[in-house]
Amino acid sequence: MSLRIIFMGTPDFSVPTLRALVDAGHEIVAVYSQPPRPAGRRGLDLKASPVLQAAEALDIPVLTPLNFRQDDDREAFRAHAADVAVVVAYGLLLPEAILNGTRLGCYNGHASLLPRWRGAAPIQRAIMAGDAETGVMVMQMEKGLDTGPVALTRKVAIGPDTTAGELHDLLMVAGADAMVEAMARLEAGDLPLTPQADEGVLYAAKIDKGETRIDFGRPAAEVHNHIRGLSPFPGAWFETEIGGRPERVKVLGSTLGQSGGNNVGRAGTVIGNDLTVACGDGSVRLTRLQKAGGKPLDAFDFLRGSPLPPGTALS
């Protein structure tokens, strides 16, 4: 036995779930993904999403509607006669006509421990807030934003130096495993649903470019969480002078410095040969950096080509 599934997803995060459902023996009757986007230096090329590419490699038909406002798109969705739709980072809010367009509804794999971090950027926001734990929840979708009842949970610990990229990779594997189990239990008629709590709701707003600059005047723990929560994309950054010219530098890795208290130096000042930087309280050591147009480098290699000696001001 297997379910007839419509799969809806777009980025790399979604691909392991699609493949796991195929490997589990389910029939993926169609894949929906965001349309190809302009790419290349001039934006003249069109780049297909990772899910679209994976689906084509699996010989599964792909549809890429801009939205579901057109009756033709809604009717095409219903015409698949699917048992269920599985949604993982699709990128569109689904109208009720789609949520109710399959026999058993839509199930979403969301990368947080709901109701904490509903919304667009749960992985980044969990790290930026200093959370020690997150996870993936499979929930039955309803009209509200990530408000549906929860069917299954996988918890994942967040290490003290874990970056958003590293956590992304852990969660996409956990999410694939959780969704396969959820669909097996749904097929067997044994998938309990638990309403989300009314307390503890937090929204994970999309990351804005205006919040990516590092403020070394904040406590070291907050600076560290900010850096790792934005690594590798879009990347937290500072400006400084290197070789007599101003440079913007992304910081892709950090750890808390050994010095404590607020007497380590003026915030934003390099205070060690290992790229330890004073913060408003304590310090952080920058471990991986990238100049504009350059490649990511560990601190030792970065300093060989771009010296930032003690006393250098970062802002």
- Inter-residue contact 149 to 140 (CB < 8 Å): yes
**Selection from 182, 126, 179, 181 nearest residue 157 by Cα:** 126
Q: Return the C-alpha torsion angle 86, 91, 95, 100, nearest 10.
A: 0
Alpha-carbon distance of 106 to 134, in angstroms, equals 23
Token pair 């190809």 in the structure block, residue: 36
| 112 marked ligand binding residue | yes
Q: What are the residues whose beta carbons fall under 8 Å from the beta carbon of 241, sequence distance 6 or more?
A: 247, 312
Give Dmax over CA atoms of the chain in angstroms.
68
Token pair 């956990």 in the structure block, residue: 174
SS3 assignment, position 197:
coil
- Inter-residue contact 20 to 175 (CB < 8 Å): no
> Long-range CB contacts (< 8 A, 24+ apart) of 230-234?
230/124, 230/128, 230/164, 231/163, 231/164, 231/165, 231/288, 232/163, 232/164, 232/165, 232/296, 233/164, 233/165, 234/207, 234/209
| 113 marked ligand binding residue | yes
| 115 marked ligand binding residue | yes
Q: 84 - beta bridge partners?
A: 5
Residues in binding site: 112-115
Residues in binding site for (6S)-5,6,7,8-tetrahydrofolate: 112-115
